[in-house]
């Protein structure tokens, strides 16, 4: 269930990037990219631990 929440955050970040690009708001674009990268950092352990036994 946590994965669904993180996917929603990724969609949200992507939409913020698109929106800030359309209105050419550099600060909002930078913040949206940082938010997207932070979401990916939080998802990285989940992605890289798939298929591996729990230690």
pLDDT digits 0-9 by tens, 7-34? 999 999 999 999 999 999 999 999 999 9
- 34 vs 53, higher pLDDT: 34
Q: 34: which 2 tokens?
A: 């940082």
Q: 39: which 2 tokens?
A: 């979401």
Q: Which pTM does this prediction carry?
A: 0.78
Distance CA(32)–CA(12), nearest Å, equals 9
Is the pLDDT reported for residue 5 higher than 70?
yes
Q: Reduce the secondary structure of 36-49 to three states and give it as a string.
A: HHHHHHHHHHHHHC
How far, in Å, are 7, 15, 40, 46, 48 from residue 2 at the CA level? Answer: 9, 20, 14, 10, 16
pLDDT at residue number 54: 58
């Amino acid at each position: 269930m946590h994965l669904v929440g993180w996917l929603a955050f990724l969609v949200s970040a992507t939409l913020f990037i698109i929106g800030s690009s359309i209105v050419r708001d550099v600060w909002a674009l930078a913040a949206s990219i940082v938010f997207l990268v932070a979401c990916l950092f939080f998802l990285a352990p989940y992605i890289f631990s798939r298929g591996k036994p729990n230690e």
